[in-house]
Amino acid sequence: MSASATGALPEEPPGSLLHRIAWHWRYDPKRELWIAWWTMLVFYQLFGLLFFVVTRTQPPPQPWWEPTRVAQWFDDHHYGLLIGFAFVFIISGMTALMNALIAYSMRRMSVSRAFAYSYLVIYALSTLPGMLLLGIALTVGAMRPDRDPELIRWIYDFAFMTFDGTMGVFLVGSLVWMVAILLDENRVLPKWFAYLSLCNALTEVVVAPAWIFKSGVFAWNGAISYWLNVGVFVTYTTVFLTLLRRMILREDFGTGPLPDLSTDEAPEPSGSVRAAG
C-alpha cells in the first residue's frame, strides 16, 4: 500500500522551516486535511479580528437606540464597516473548507454518509445568518448615509437580529455532529465532545429572547443571550479545533477505528485497522 493510502509518512528531511513546508506540500498524504485545518484556524482568528476590532460590530451596540443615534453609529463606524466587511466577504469562502473538514470527520466515522451531507447543507445555509446578512445589511447602511434614519434603524435591527438572534440555525448542525459521534464506533472524536455539542446547542436556544427584549440580560447584547453564549461558543470552537487536529494526526486513511496517538503524536502502527471494511 502506498504512503498516501496508509497515511504512513516518509521520514521528513532536516532543513529550514520553508524547506520542510515545501517537503510536506509535496509528500504529505494529509496535505489537504492540514490545509483545511489551517484554513479553519486562520478563519477564526480573522473572524474575531474583523468583527471585534475592525468593524467593531461585536460586542453588538445597544438594541434600544433611537434612529438618530443609530445613524450616528453608522457615521462613526463608516470606514471600519466598509473595510472590515470587504474582508469578511473575501474570507467567507474559507467556510467551505472548514465545513468540509468537519464533514470529513463524519465520513471517517462508522455512521451513514447522510450525517456529513446534512451537516454540509445546514452549515452552507448557516453562513448567511452567521455572517453574510449582517455584513450586507451594515454595508448598505454605511453606503447610504443620506437615507431616512428610520430606514437606517430598520437595517440596523435587521443586521443584528439576523446575526445574534439566529444562532439556532447552528443548533441543528451541532446536533447532527453530536449524534454522529455518539453512534460512531471508529472513535474519531471522543464522546464527551458530543455532550459538549449538546451543551453548545442548548445555549444557542437561549439567544431566542433577543427577538423580544431591547435591553437587559436577554437583549442581543445581554449577559445571557450574548456573553454566556459567546463564552460557550469560543470554548466549543477551541475544543473542536484541537480535536480535529488530533484527528488528522491519528488519520490512517483506513475504514476502521482510528489508532491512538503515541506520546510523540505519531500514529501507532495500525496494520489491522486498514483491513477492508
Partner 1 sequence: MTKVANAQPRPRFVPGQPDMWAFVLFEALVFTGYFIVYIIRRTQSPDLFLQSQAHLDLRVGVFNTLVLLASSWSVARCVQAARERSFRAALTNAFLTMLFGFLFLVSKVLEWATEIEEGFGFTTNEFFSFYYFLTAIHFLHLLIGFVVLAIGIYQLWSPARRSQEMIETCATYWHTIDFLWVLIFALLYVMR
Question: Minimum CB separation from partner 1 for residue 214, in Å?
Answer: 10
Helices marked H in the chain — which ranges? 3-6, 17-27, 31-48, 67-76, 78-91, 94-107, 113-127, 133-143, 149-164, 168-183, 191-205, 229-250
Question: Minimum CB separation from partner 1 for residue 232, in Å?
Answer: 6
The reply on whether position 230 binds partner 1 by CB under 8 A is no
The reply on whether position 150 binds partner 1 by CB under 8 A is no
Site for partner 1 in 104-143 (CB under 8 A): 110
Distance CA(8)–CA(201), nearest Å, equals 37
The reply on whether position 232 binds partner 1 by CB under 8 A is yes
C-alpha cell at 18: 520553508
> 157, 209, 246, 249: which one contacts partner 1 (CB under 8 A)?
209
Residue listed under C-alpha cell 474570507: 91
> 205, 234, 261, 266: which one contacts partner 1 (CB under 8 A)?
205
Question: Minimum CB separation from partner 1 for residue 185, in Å?
Answer: 7
Distance CA(250)–CA(265), nearest Å, equals 8
Distance CA(26)–CA(269), nearest Å, equals 23
Q: Which residues bind partner 1 (CB under 8 A)?
A: 110, 185, 190-192, 194-196, 198-199, 202-203, 205-206, 209, 212-213, 216-218, 223-224, 228, 231-232, 255-257, 259-260, 270, 272-273, 275-277
